[in-house]
Amino acid sequence: MRTPYFLMVGVVVILSTSCRKTDTTPFTPPRQDPQAIVPKSVINAFVNQQLETHGYFDWKMASDTMVWSALLHGDSILSVGYTTASGAAEILQLIGEKEGTTQRKDQRTSTADKLHFLNVHVSRFETLRTLRASPKVRYAEPIGYGAYMRDIKPKDAAVASDILASGCGYNSAKTDLVAGADYTVVSPAAKLSWNYPYHRIEQAWQRATGQHIKVMIIDTGVSPQQENLGSMFNQGWSAGRTIQKLGTYYNGSPDDPCGHGTSMAGVLAGPRGTDGNTVGIAYNCDLITVHAAENVVLLSTDAINGVTNAYVLGADDPTVKIISMSMGTIFSSGQIKDALVYAYSKQKLMFCAAGTSTSFFASFVGVIFPANQPQVVAVTGMKDNLKDRCDDCHTGSKVDFAIVMQKSSTGRNPLSIAMSGDAPSTVGGSSVATASCSAIAALVWSKYPGYPRDSIIARMARASSYANSRSSKFGWGIINADAAVGN
């Protein structure tokens, strides 16, 4: 059974009137719902226009009628951020009055109460309009519209599946890897990905390997069939560390049905072992993996809530230093913003992917949400010519760092850990760049465990290729991990 994330508010309207001869108050008839809802095509065109004009999209840009229409096109769940501690009860009462139903307090979650938001089922235009106009409401957003935004016909079921499976199904072992070109072997018997030398990872390992730094990965979970991210997490030169697997997605499972989360964990923290698999950059860090969403594009209500809960989980764990998320969306989310602010206030260092082009993102190549938020460090990928972005990586002024992750000649991406077995896989996009950058931060922090978050970022920036003149596309540029770790 799904964990309830929202309050069900029905659509039965109870009308009562009374007649008094002494009542001089003029009668104002209730506002009717618009005669026609705005088509998806018009909403989507408006979203794209805002992305092209402003570089981001927030539902506050849209009219009441458009937001209400998006609500009805989707699952009718509205994410409502309120301003005061007593706001939840007031909002529920308002909705109950407008919708003609009784509020239900039993389904409020601890995360929602902590961040001051509610997920409620709303059907009437007047309810939506009143909420958006209230000074007690910070935002009112159709949280799950993205999962329904395309008009899918029955014969196009595969297309619908692609929308909700973006970034999945690619984490299989590669049989065409070439020794010396795609990897080298390091002691005791691990494969070093071809891109590590561009960041002087092996040199940085002389002084730091991520020891005693705990990193949380918010993604699609980890494969239970991959021993290197399970019972063999400690092997070879990786010792004395822990891995914890959690789930904040609606079913609570920590397992990875997609493959993306497993590949991120491999890049960041794969053991430097004896079985011939890929070694992660921070091969001695502690790791928490969180299954928060069904794929890398955050579209559904379940995914938005899963990510929100994951950030709060990381924020409330005092042992977590770094939170890495290689997922995102074109839609800003008020409750995820709230979660980022909350985690930032707990001194977490957060990295997010700048964006990897898919059919969903169309021609938009700017920095996606939440990488465009001020609380996070945005990361993108570059080719090994050290000047061009990877074929499908997003760039922009919000980017902070870049990782070399695509060969110009062959298109080869960095090595990672597959869903099972000891043969490596490969993974690309700004996703692998983000996991790699988070791992480098873990190396630096393990050398300077007493430093605050901002000092770690400062060391990384000073050791990057554009340290003297920040790039408008790649931020501080390519990080020299050896220099960032220092002597």
Do residues 11 and 125 touch, judged by C-beta distance below 8 A? no
- For residues 372 and 358, give the distance between their C-alpha atoms in angstroms, rounded to a whole number: 18
Instruction: Determine contact, residues 266/416, Cβ cutoff 8 Å.
Output: yes
DSSP string, 159-223: HHHHHTTTT-S-----S---BTTTEEEETTTEEEETTGGGGTHHHHTTT---TT-EEEEEEB-B-
Q: Are strands 214-219 and 320-325 parallel, antiparallel or unpaired?
A: parallel
CA-CA distance, 352 to 373, in Å (whole number)? 9
Q: What are 383's two structure tokens?
A: 């080719």
Best CA proximity match to 39, nearest among 83, 70, 74:
70
Burial class (CB in 10 A: 0-12, 13-18, 19+), 423: middle
Angle CA 391–394–396, to nearest 5 = 135
Answer for the pair 379, 430: CB distance below 8 angstroms, yes or no. Answer: yes
Edge-to-edge strand order for the sheet containing 243-247?
243-247, 286-291, 214-219, 320-325, 349-353, 377-383, 401-406
Helix (H) or strand (E) run with residue 380 in it = strand 377-383
* 3-state class (DSSP) for residue 136: coil
CA distance 419 to 425: 9
Counting Cβ atoms within 10 Å, is residue 262 exposed (0-12), middle (13-18) or buried (19+)? Answer: buried
The catalytically annotated residue of 260, 263, 300, 332 is 260
Provide the 3-class DSSP secondary structure of residue 349: strand
Q: Mark whether 431 is an active-site residue.
A: yes
Beta strand 137-142 pairing with 77-82: antiparallel
Catalytic option among 182, 219, 286, 422: 219
Active site residue 260: yes
Return the structure tokens found at 54: 């402003």
Of the residues 238, 431, 446, 465, only one is catalytic, namely 431
Element (H, E) at 78: strand 77-82
Alpha helices, DSSP H only, in 223-300? 260-269
* CA–CA separation, 288 and 269 (whole Å): 10
- Catalytic positions: 219, 260, 431
